[in-house]
Structure 1
Amino acid sequence: MTMTEPLLKVRGVETYYGKIIALKGVDLDVHEGEIVTLIGANGAGKSTLMMTVCGSPQARNGSIVYAGEDITTKPTYEIMRTGIAQSPEGRRIFPRMSVLENLMMGGMVAENKYFEDDLKRVFELFPRLKERQHQSGGTLSGGEQQMLAIARALMSRPRLLLLDEPSLGLAPIIVRQIFEAINELNKTDGLTVFLVEQNAYHALKLAHRGYVMVNGVITMTGTGKELLSREEVKAAYLEGGRH
């Protein structure tokens, strides 16, 4: 892979649910070391794109290339072994397992020798999880569960972290903590992040670059700063959205 090639390259992707087309020829790039965000209204197709990158559902047309390898038709379990980790929408932690057991599940695809270091790192990022490490995941607050979902994804030592709606349903103070942690991971560890978000203000402030999706189509792209200043973005996504 050359230096100019994106780490994740999506080209002409079309995804269907039955006969309904959800993604209509999507092009998108994520370069190594970037935070890239995809914003749009509920139902625009943002989460569908992220799930398509993960292989479920698979793209019917177009291609998805990660680290120079075509992953378009690979099954999800193979894609997750390539250095991609996902924190899905709705968190989806293991509620009956303890926080520590959830983190151990996340670390199963990484080499065992890194486990203690990785555990220390996620506890530094999210001190609340250290305090709650022996509690079952289902007893945590929504914000703590979101922290756990991100931490579990990090335990696999990903090269690319996919975050789907990490701020959904959370109090503003928790949203800030989570976005600060994402920023820290990118700046300190050089982690590449692809972020799907309805909270456009926080997402675009954080991101190096952003894309806007409307009805399964990318309608705008630019730096986070550029998109924040666009009048049509302000009108559609930012009114009253500054938490």
Structure 2
Amino acid sequence: MSEGSAAAAAAAPAGEPLLRVSGVKTYYGKIVALRGVDMEVHPGEIVTLIGANGAGKSTLMMTICGSPQAREGTITYDGLDITQMPTHEITRMSIAQSPEGRRIFPRMTVMENLQMGASITDMTHFDKDLKRVFELFPILAKRKGQRGGTLSGGEQQMLAIARALMSRPKLLLLDEPSLGLAPLVVKQIFEIIHELNTNEGLTVFLVEQNAYHALKLAHRGYVMVNGLITMSGTGRELLARDDVKAAYLEGGAH
């Protein structure tokens, strides 16, 4: 077991994880993007993955969702092997992703975007879920008839998260939710993630370049360098490490 794997095992809580990534290698053609990744997310946790741009963080998120698929290793979710499952099947298993760059439907209205999120599972609880996301993101209620592409960057990010929540996920995957946003909006979004976890017990796996905010929020964190997990621990432990401060927290404490 590598130093990173041993640390991960020590830091992870007891019991079966909701998501387990074991020895995962992912390639783009002949280029190795992930070089044997091991990590776990347990029910009710917020787990964050930090690292420099290009470290492989988003590739891991996309590999969990089945595109690209892992060439080696296994990914299990809720006890099931999803390593070779197609993306559309994974999204029906109570896993929802808010991808990097938001990727809302810009020509659709806010309401239509939310309907698309709900349609992944079923529309039975649509009204109740709509009320819930409008309480979390009041600005979206005001913008419900507006096209997604005309929203501000922060509003688009809120819509991307709200759309993911409409499918009633057990596991929410967030890829760079703070990217390109003003500090005040970042603070608001991280407060909502905390609220969802604290009040509803939502399990969250968060990929972030903003290491300070991510580690403050997370129960546990992993550090990725060149497609490998090199460190892990509680959010507080990683925040306190001098090597993490030097590499990832320079100017990050807003």
Q: How does 1:166-177 map to 2 (within 5 A)?
A: 166-177=177-188
**Equivalent-residue separation in structure 1 for 2:236 and 2:181 (angstroms):** 24
User: Which secondary structure state, in structure 2, belongs to the residue aligned with residue 14 of structure 1?
Assistant: strand
Match of 1:163 among 174, 180, 183: 174
**Equivalent-residue separation in structure 2 for 1:116 and 1:208 (angstroms):** 32
Confirm or deny that 1:136 pairs with 2:175: no
Confirm or deny that 1:16 pairs with 2:27: yes
Residue 111 of structure 1 deviates from its aligned partner by 3.0
Q: Deviations 1:160-183 (Å, cap 9, x if unpaired)?
A: 000000000000000001000000
Structure 1 counterpart of 2:54 = 43
Structure 2 counterpart of 1:225 = 236
Structure 2 counterpart of 1:215 = 226
Structure 1 counterpart of 2:6 = none
Gap regions ≥5 residues in structure 2 = 1-13
**Equivalent-residue separation in structure 1 for 2:22 and 2:233 (angstroms):** 17
Residue 113 of structure 1 deviates from its aligned partner by 2.3
Q: Deviations 1:160-219 (Å, cap 9, x if unpaired)?
A: 000000000000000001000000000111100000000000000000000000000000
The runs of 4+ residues in structure 1 deviating greater than 3 Å are none
Structure 1 counterpart of 2:162 = 151
Q: In terms of mean alpha carbon deviation, does 76-85 or 109-118 score higher?
A: 109-118
Identity %: 76
**Equivalent-residue separation in structure 1 for 2:218 and 2:151 (angstroms):** 28
**Equivalent-residue separation in structure 1 for 2:97 and 2:140 (angstroms):** 19
Give the number of equivalent residue pairs.
241
Is the Cα–Cα contact under 8 Å of residues 117 and 164 in structure 2 kept in the other structure? Answer: yes
Q: How does 1:61-210 map to 2 (within 5 A)?
A: 61-210=72-221
Structure 2 counterpart of 1:5 = 16
Q: Tell me the TM-score normalised to structure 1 length.
A: 0.98
**Equivalent-residue separation in structure 2 for 1:14 and 1:116 (angstroms):** 41
Residue 4 of structure 1 deviates from its aligned partner by 1.1
**Equivalent-residue separation in structure 2 for 1:44 and 1:111 (angstroms):** 36
Structure 1 counterpart of 2:249 = 238
**Equivalent-residue separation in structure 1 for 2:139 and 2:240 (angstroms):** 35
Is the Cα–Cα contact under 8 Å of residues 48 and 214 in structure 2 kept in the other structure? Answer: yes
